[in-house]
Amino acid sequence: MTAPIPGALAGITVVDLSRVLGGPYCTQILGDHGADVLKVEPPQGDETRVWGPPVRGGASAYFLGVNRNKRGLVLDLKTDAGRAALLGLLAGADVLVENFKPGTLEGWGLGDLVERFPRLVHCRISGFGADGPLGGLPGYDAAVQAMTGLMSINGDAAGAPTRLGVPAVDMVSGLNAAVGVLLALHERGVSGRGQFVDITLFDCALSILHPHSANWLSGGAVPGRSGNAHPNIAPYDSLQCADAPIFLAVGNDGQFAKLCAMLDLPGVAADPRFADNRTRVAHREVLKATLEAALSAHDAAPLAARLIAGGVPCAPVLDVAQALDHPHTAHRKMIVDGSIASPVKLSRTPATYRLPPPEFAAKETL
């Protein structure tokens, strides 16, 4: 029997004190790529264990989706015994990931962990950081979406600000946390020293406001909602075909010329109102109406297949079930054991799926 290939992070030990989403997503990334992750839960458990239905095997799908490749442990860090046990774990660890409210570890006498363990990479994911006008306050994905402008640019132009349909702030915070940990581990290989990695939901939310943030910083106009349309590009929008919508993502003049040729619209291609992206953006409504008139003769799925094969970026608008059942999803092996696989494909040291999400032990365990 061939031995499994060690992951890229084999030999790295991670103590995971985090709960809910950002931290667990970070540590699942590390675990998928070979790190030994010990998920330490409080006596009441990670609250997402009961965020169902749906529930599978006694735990919610929400919990199962971001907690594979981890071993489980219960510690009550409010007790001396629990804190002593944690310090024992950290003595042999490379990374600590936690998302306690700033000041919590300090209140338990655990605020100097990088000083106690000089090689430790300590990553904290918090709402707003420890200081500043919002320092120390709790942060939650939807609330941070609201206060960082994400909701203000999401939704129909005539509608109300709308929460993104996925917890994008938590997810990108977890992703940035994983990047930060890897950067710190790489630097440790040079200096021999660990460091503190400070990740906040607030910062991460602002980081994904592009291009709206860049537009405001450069032009001064406050961005608004534009539905599915792109603020800087046209046609870059959802357009109605005979049976369903199609999303056109035409990013340059060459792609626009191909679109017009494939839809047999030579007059549109030659129209000075649509000569380049600047003029197409200025006349986006008439352009959309003109294209939808032509698209009304076509069904979305076959047209999308023909257009993308011809060099026009587009796609049918699928629901979640259709996306997860897509043949390319299977080809890319993006579903494993009832959850989404790692999107990071390394040629020599691929992700592996060694452990299911840990079951919960109600009593403190070592």
**Are the C-beta atoms of residues 7 and 355 closer than 8 Å to each other?**
no
Intrachain domains 13-209+336-340 and 236-321 with the same fold? no
The alpha carbon dihedral of 70, 343, 162, 212 has a sign of: positive
**CA angle, corner 95, sides to 90 and 101, nearest 5?**
85
pLDDT at 64 over 70: yes
What number of CA atoms fall less than 13 Å from residue 316's CA on the CB side?
19
Q: Specify the pTM.
A: 0.94
Where residue 6 falls among pLDDT bands split at 50, 70, 90?
A: confident
Q: What is the pLDDT of residues 271-281, one digit of tens each?
A: 999 999 999 99
The backbone torsions φ and ψ at residue 248, rounded to the nearest 5 degrees and listed phi first, read: -95, 130
pLDDT band at 1 (very low <50, low <70, confident <90, very high): very low
Residue 365 confidence (pLDDT): 62
With cut-offs at 50, 70 and 90, classify the pLDDT of residue 2: very low
Which CATH fold topology does 236-321 show?
Answer: formyl-coa transferase, domain 3 (3.30.1540)
Q: Which residues of 301-325 are buried (b: 16+ CB within 10 A; e: fewer)?
A: bebbeebeeeebbbbbeeeeeeeee
Q: Which class does domain 13-209+336-340 fall in?
A: alpha beta
Instruction: Tell me if residue 230 is catalytic.
Output: yes
**pLDDT tens readout for residues 314-356:** 999 999 999 999 999 999 999 999 999 999 999 999 999 999 9
| Strand pairing category for 335-336 and 36-41 | unpaired
Selected catalytic residue, list 33, 210, 230, 298: 230
User: Domain residues of the chain, as ranges?
Assistant: 13-209+336-340, 236-321
β-sheet bridge partners, residue 126: 200
Report yes or no: 124 and 197 within 8 Å, Cβ to Cβ: yes
pLDDT tens sequence across 182-209: 999 999 999 999 999 999 999 999 999 9
- Contacts for 103 with CB less than 8 Å, ≥ 6 apart: 130, 136
CA–CA distance, 32 with 277 (Å, rounded to integer): 42
Mean pLDDT over residues 49-73, rounded?
95
pLDDT in tens, 146-192: 999 999 999 999 999 999 999 999 999 999 999 999 999 999 999 99
Average pLDDT, the chain: 95
CB 233 within 8 A of CB 165: no
Nearest to 241 by CA among 304, 298, 308, 302: 298
Nearest to 17 by CA among 9, 7, 27: 27
Which tokens sit at 20? 């809910």
Share of the chain above pLDDT 90, in %: 95
pLDDT bin (cut points 50, 70, 90) of residue 57 is confident
Mean pLDDT of 35-61: 95
Section 114-132 average pLDDT: 97
> Per-residue pLDDT for 29 more than 80?
yes
The 3-class SS string of the chain reads CCCCCCCCCCCCEEEECCCCCHHHHHHHHHHHCCCEEEEEECCCCCHHHHCCCCEECCEEHHHHCCCCCEEEEECCCCCHHHHHHHHHHHCCCCEEEECCCCCHHHHCCCCCHHHHCCCCEEEEEECCCCCCCCCCCCCCHHHHHHHCCCHHHCCCCCCCCCCCCCCHHHHHHHHHHHHHHHHHHHHHHHHCCCCEEEEEHHHHHHHCCCCHHHHHHHHCCCCCCCCCCCCCCCCEEEEECCCCEEEEECCCHHHHHHHHHHCCCHHHHHCHHHCCHHHHHHCHHHHHHHHHHHHCCCCHHHHHHHHHHCCCCEEECCCHHHHHCCHHHHHCCCEECCEECCCCCCCCCCCCCCCCCCCCCCCCCC
pLDDT digits (tens, 9 = 90+) for 67-106: 999 999 999 999 999 999 999 999 999 999 999 999 999 9
